[in-house]
C-alpha cells in the first residue's frame, strides 16, 4: 500500500543495538486479533484504523485530504458510515490490504514520551523502532516520560483494547524506588487506597523488597492504571518516586531485554496473556 507519510515521526533517531527487522512471513502471533464481522457499520476513519493501516487521527487526516474512496467515490467525511465487508474502501486507489498483526515488547528508556508525535518536539518511544521497516504500530497503554520498562505495541486495536480495559486487562507489576523507608502502615494505606482529584487510587498489592537508610524499593502491582497512578498515590502518602520501572504485564516479564530494545511476543506469551485476563476471550489459534 502506498502512503506519503512514514509510519514513525521524521525526527526519530536510530534504535539502540538489539532492535531487529521482523520477517514478513506470517507467524502464529500474527493471528491473535479478529477482524470485524461483516455487516457492522463504522465511521470511515475507524475502518482504516481497525484495518491496522494507521491511527484513527491519521486516518481522519487522510480522509480529509481526499485520499480515501468508498465504492468509487472520494469521501472527505471521517465519520462517513461504512458497512464492513459490503463496501469497497480504497486508500490512494488501493484496497485496504491488512498488514500482518504484530505484538511487540519494548524496554522503554526514561526520557522518552509515549506518543507518535510530540507537539513540544521531545523524543518519543518511536525512535526505538526507527529503521526497522515496521508497519504502523500503537502503544498499548502508556508510561510517562520519567518512567521506564515494559511497554507493548501492536497494530491490532481489539487486542490492545482488551489489555488496557480494567475489566479484562492483566495485572501490571512495577519496581519503585522511593525517598524514604515506608512502614507497614503506609503499605497498608497504599492497598486501602486514597482519593486524589476525584479519583480512587490504590495498589492491588505492595511489598517492601529492600531498603537502605534513606531509600527503599517497593514492588507495586496495579489492576487499573490511571494517569501517574503510582506517583500520585505515593505523593499523597508523603513519598517521592526516585525511579519507576514496569517489569511485567501479566505473565510477560521484562527479563533481560536491554533499554531501548524490542522483541516480538511469542505465541506462548500471547496465550498466557489471554489466560491471565479477568474474563474469557476467544482462544488464540494458529
Q: Which of 202, 232, 235, 205 is nearest to 218 (CA)?
A: 205
Residue 86: other Cβ atoms inside 10 A: 11
The SS3 of residue 39 is coil
Distance CA 265, CA 156 (A): 13
Asked if residues 150 and 249 have their Cβ atoms less than 8 Å apart, the reply is: yes
Q: How many CA atoms lie within 13 A of 191 on its CB side?
A: 13
- Catalytic residues, by residue number, are 144
Distance CA 75, CA 54 (A): 17
The SS3 of residue 269 is helix
Residues in CB range of 16: below 8 A, 6 or more apart: 128, 258, 259, 260, 261
Maximal CA-CA distance, the chain: 71
Stretch (H or E) spanning 95: strand 94-95
Distance CA 241, CA 231 (A): 6
**Do the bridges between strand 94-95 and strand 89-91 make them parallel or antiparallel, or are there none, so unpaired?**
antiparallel
Distance CA 107, CA 145 (A): 13
Handedness of CA 207, 210, 211, 216 (dihedral sign): negative
Amino acid at each position: 500500500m502506498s502512503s506519503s507519510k512514514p509510519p514513525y515521526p521524521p525526527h526519530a533517531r536510530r534504535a539502540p543495538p538489539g532492535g531487529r527487522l521482523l520477517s514478513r512471513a506470517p507467524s502464529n502471533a500474527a493471528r491473535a486479533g479478529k477482524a470485524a464481522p461483516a455487516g457492522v457499520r463504522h465511521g470511515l476513519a475507524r475502518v482504516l484504523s481497525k484495518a491496522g493501516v494507521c491511527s484513527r487521527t491519521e486516518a481522519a487526516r487522510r480522509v480529509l485530504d481526499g485520499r480515501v474512496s468508498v465504492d468509487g467515490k472520494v469521501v472527505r467525511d471521517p465519520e462517513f458510515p461504512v458497512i464492513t465487508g459490503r463496501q469497497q474502501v480504497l486508500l490512494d486507489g488501493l484496497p485496504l490490504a491488512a498488514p500482518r498483526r504484530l505484538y511487540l515488547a519494548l524496554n522503554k528508556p526514561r526520557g522518552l514520551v509515549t506518543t507518535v508525535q510530540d507537539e513540544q518536539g521531545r523524543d518519543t518511544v518511536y525512535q526505538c523502532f526507527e529503521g526497522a521497516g515496521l508497519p504502523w504500530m500503537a502503544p498499548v497503554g502508556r508510561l510517562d516520560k520519567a518512567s521506564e520498562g515494559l511497554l507493548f505495541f501492536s497494530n491490532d486495536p481489539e487486542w490492545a483494547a482488551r489489555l488496557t480495559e480494567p475489566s479484562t486487562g492483566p495485572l501490571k507489576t512495577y519496581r519503585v524506588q522511593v525517598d524514604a523507608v515506608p512502614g507497614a502502615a503506609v503499605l497498608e494505606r497504599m492497598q486501602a487506597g486514597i482519593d486524589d482529584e476525584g479519583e480512587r487510587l490504590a495498589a492491588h498489592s505492595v511489598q517492601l523488597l529492600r531498603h537502605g537508610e534513606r531509600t527503599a524499593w517497593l514492588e507495586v502491582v496495579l489492576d487499573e492504571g490511571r494517569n501517574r497512578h503510582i506517583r500520585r498515590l505515593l505523593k499523597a502518602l508523603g513519598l517521592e518516586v526516585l525511579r519507576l520501572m514496569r517489569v511485567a504485564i501479566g505473565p510477560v516479564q521484562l527479563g533481560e531485554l536491554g533499554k531501548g530494545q524490542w522483541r516480538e511476543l511469542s505465541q506462548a506469551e500471547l496465550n498466557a496473556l489471554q489466560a491471565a485476563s479477568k474474563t474469557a476471550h476467544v482462544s488464540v489459534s494458529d
